[in-house]
Amino acid sequence: MNISVIGSGYVGTVSAACFAELGHHVVCIDIDPDKVDMINRGEPPIYEDGLEELLSNHAGRTLRATADYDDAVSGTDISFICVGTPSDDDGNIDLSIVKGACASLGAALAKKDRYHVVVVKSTVVPQTTEKVVVPIIEGVSGKKAGVDFGVAMNPEFLREGKAVYDFMHPDKIVVGAIDKRSDDAVSALYAGLDGETIHVDPSTAEMIKYVNNSFLATKISFSNEIGNICKKLGIDTYQVMDAVGRDSRISPYFLNSGAGFGGSCFPKDVKALIGKAREQGYEPVLLNSVIKVNEVQPLLMIDLLESRLGNLGDLTIAVLGLAFKNDTDDIRESRSIPVIQALLERGAVVTAYDPMAGDTMKQLFDDTIVHYCDNAAQALESAHGCLVMTEWDEFRSLNSEFATMKRPLVIDGRNVISCDGIEYVGLCW
Nearest one of 75, 76, 131 to 99, comparing CA atoms: 131
15 binds ligand NAD (CB under 6 A): no
360 binds ligand NAD (CB under 6 A): no
| The amino acid at 183 | D
Please select the residue that binds ligand NAD; options are 100, 135, 347, 421, rule is CB under 6 A.
100
8 binds ligand NAD (CB under 6 A): yes
Shortest reach from residue 361's CB to ligand NAD, in Å: 16
Q: What is the rounded CA–CA span in Å between residue 182 and residue 153? A: 10
**Contact characters 16-55, ligand NAD, x per CB under 6 A:** -------------xxxx--x--------------------
DSSP 8-state assignment for residue 129: I
Q: Looking at beta carbons only, is 101 or 145 nearer to ligand NAD? A: 101
Please select the residue that binds ligand NAD; options are 109, 134, 153, 158, rule is CB under 6 A.
158
Q: What is the rounded CA–CA span in Å between residue 357 and residue 126? A: 33
Nearest one of 228, 203, 205, 208 to 289, comparing CA atoms: 228
Q: Looking at beta carbons only, is 167 or 353 nearer to ligand NAD? A: 167
Nearest one of 14, 116, 56 to 28, comparing CA atoms: 14
C-alpha 7: how far from its chain's center?
Answer: 15
Residue spans of alpha helices (H) in 60-144: 69-74, 96-110, 128, 134-141
Q: Looking at beta carbons only, is 122 or 257 nearer to ligand NAD? A: 122
390 binds ligand NAD (CB under 6 A): no
DSSP 8-state assignment for residue 404: G
Shortest reach from residue 242's CB to ligand NAD, in Å: 27
227 binds ligand NAD (CB under 6 A): no
160 binds ligand NAD (CB under 6 A): yes
Neighbours of 124 (CB within 10 A): 24
Catalytic residue among 265, 373, 386, 428: 265
Q: What is the rounded CA–CA span in Å between residue 427 and residue 417? A: 12
Describe the crossing of helices 266-279 and 285-309 by its angle, rounded to 10 degrees: 140
Bridge partners (DSSP) listed for residue 365: none
Please select the residue that binds ligand NAD; options are 49, 53, 70, 97, rule is CB under 6 A.
97
- Catalytic residue flag (residue 265): yes
Which residues, numbered 248-287, are part of the site for ligand NAD (CB under 6 A)?
Answer: 264-265
82 binds ligand NAD (CB under 6 A): yes
Shortest reach from residue 364's CB to ligand NAD, in Å: 16
Shortest reach from residue 85's CB to ligand NAD, in Å: 4
Q: Looking at beta carbons only, is 122 or 351 nearer to ligand NAD? A: 122
10 binds ligand NAD (CB under 6 A): yes
Q: What is the rounded CA–CA span in Å between residue 337 and residue 120? A: 31
395: phi then psi, degrees, rounded to nearest 5 = -75, -25
Neighbours of 319 (CB within 10 A): 28
Instruction: Please give the residue ranges that form the binding site for ligand NAD (CB under 6 A).
Output: 6-12, 29-32, 35, 82-85, 97, 100-101, 104, 122-123, 156, 158, 160, 264-265
Instruction: Kindly list the catalytic residues.
Output: 265
